[in-house]
Amino acid sequence: MSECTHDCSTCSSNCSSRDKKSFLEAPHELSKIKKVIGVVSGKGGVGKSMVTSMLAVAMNRRGHKTAVLDADITGPSIPKMFGIREKAGATEDALLPVRSKTGIELMSVNLLLENESDPVVWRGPVIAGTVKQFWTDVIWNDVDFMFVDMPPGTGDVPLTVFQSLPIDGIVVVTSPQELVSVIVAKAVKMAGLMDIPILGIVENMSYVKCPDCGKKLYPFGQSNTASVALEFGLPLLAALPMDPDASKCADTGTIELYTSMEIEPAADRVEALL
């Protein structure tokens, strides 16, 4: 074991004396961001980007200035959901986010690529560095709530976001399957290691509502997310249905037209941070 040099920037050890705030990066000097919310999952395919978009739209409708930082570099979907095809602007020393139809500020790697279908074939450190630049090099204008759409898992990008951005809380997105406890456990333990507060759990694809009688049908079986949330002492903020209207709005870039009463309790929890 080498002797401590007290220079945490070059050290990988997780000692008790390390000040986690020492890793935080300052945003662009012209940016103003009040609250930063991470949207995470332990695995892919649970609708994390959908939940991110729905929360951003809900907070925007409540009169808050809202932004989305798309940290899912290799699988960005935020621009498509908002119907954004234009490229991000730039000044001599900064990038400028694109505004959606209702004024939500967005930054994603797809807004920088020549063709949105071009694959991002980069190694982890380069991807993590790009996410950091979305924070340090973009001018975010008087944002009340910034939602960070994170890639699944606990790799380079989530670690970079947790260390570099002043995250005020995370929302864990999951689905109603038996491995939900593993998904939640991974996210909870990583957040605990990084001293990041967890706002609660959102269960996506919880049920399908019969269009004829309104009865709730459970294609994945009865959910156990509520009991898992209780096990970890976390609130279940929302149980979102599998809604064809939501899928259509996401596919056509009109997510800002979609209304979901089920997401409102999660929006309440986020709003309480102000």
Q: What whole-number distance in Å separates Cα of residue 261 and Cα of residue 240? A: 9
- pLDDT value at 7 more than 50: no
pLDDT band (50, 70, 90) for residue 20: low
Instruction: Report the DSSP beta bridge partners of residue 238.
Output: 202
Average pLDDT over residues 113-129: 82
pLDDT, position 42: 77
Q: What is the mean pLDDT of the chain?
A: 88
Write the pLDDT tens digit of every residue in 39-49: 998 778 889 99
Cβ count within 10 A of residue 260? 20
pLDDT given for residue 62 in this prediction: 98
% of the chain beyond a pLDDT of 70 = 92
Q: Tell me how far apart the alpha carbons of residues 96 and 141 are, in angstroms, rounded to a whole number.
A: 9
At 124-169, the pLDDT tens digits run 889 899 999 999 999 999 999 999 999 887 778 888 999 999 999 9
Q: How many CA atoms are closer than 13 Å to the CA of 14, on its beta-carbon side?
A: 4
Name the token pair of 185: 């456990």
Report yes or no: 86 and 113 within 8 Å, Cβ to Cβ. Answer: no
CA dihedral 231, 232, 234, 240 (to 10 degrees): -70
Q: How far is CA 246 from the centre of its chain?
A: 18
Given pLDDT bands bounded at 50, 70 and 90, which one contains residue 10?
A: very low
CA 265 from centroid of its chain's CA atoms: 17
